[in-house]
Amino acid sequence: MLPTVAIVGRPNVGKSTLFNRLVGKKLALVDDQPGVTRDRREGQASLLGVDFTIIDTAGYEDEDPQTLPGRMRMQTQAAVENADVALFVVDARAGITPLDEEIARWLREGDAPVVLMANKAEGRAGDDGVMEAFSLGLGDPVPFSAEHGQGLADLFQALLPYI
Ligand code: GDP
Ligand code: MG
């Protein structure tokens, strides 16, 4: 059985874009409108010759904001439960939000190792967000651009102990 990487994070940070890039097929729906990805999706990914199973989690983007954190927590925990590593994605352009901090808390309380990725880090617009991500207490964030495919070697380095 291949090792499993679960992509988690709040809506619109680029989880499905990352999934598509690693799987190499358009298995996850990506759209400029938040709320497109409905289901948890699994695919087989390959990174510099290492194969693993990757799970893309949906965002519940159009749920009632009152209930969003609770629903996201259940979904995040379910995805991470049987994973070898949680790949926690934040948006370096948007910076760290309260929901990011809450997800970080759930992950710190869980058993799965966490690799933190600061996505949308192409150019300079993500520099501040990458620095902010250090404050989540989950180690050094990997600067990444799922859209442009930048950071793959560093992501590989960070995931390698777990896959
Ligand atoms: P998800 O809700 O976390 O699955 O996010 P999506 O993958 O659907 O992406 C949300 C939006 O962010 C889309 O408009 C993507 O094109 C955009 N996006 C994803 N990755 C990047 C990136 O590396 N850089 C930039 N600038 N935008 C990105
Ligand atoms: Mg998605």
Pair 42, 91: CB distance under 8 Å? no
Residue 62, classified by CB atoms within 10 Å of its CB into exposed (0-12), middle (13-18) or buried (19+), is: exposed
pLDDT of residue 35: 47
Q: How far is CA 119 from CA 16, 75, 130, in A?
A: 12, 21, 9
Q: How many angstroms is it from 1 CA to the middle of ligand 2?
A: 25
Pocket of ligand 1 (CB under 6 A): 9, 11-17, 30, 32, 37, 59, 119-120, 122, 145-147
pLDDT of residue 27: 52
What the block records as the tokens of 59 is: 């965002």
Q: How many residues does the chain have?
A: 163
Tell me how far apart the terminal alpha carbons of the chain are, to the nearest angstrom.
11
Topology given in CATH for the domain delimited by 4-162: Rossmann fold (3.40.50)
Domain segments of the chain as ranges: 4-162
Mean pLDDT by 10 residues, the chain (163 residues): 94 92 67 52 88 83 68 83 95 96 93 97 95 96 97 96 96
Checking ipTM against 0.95, whether it exceeds it is yes
pLDDT of residue 37: 45
Q: How far is CA 127 from CA 57, 130, 149, in A?
A: 26, 5, 17
The closest ligand to the CA of 38 turns out to be 2
What's this model's pTM, rounded to 2 decimal places? 0.91
Rounded Cα–Cα distance for residues 118 and 140 (Å): 10
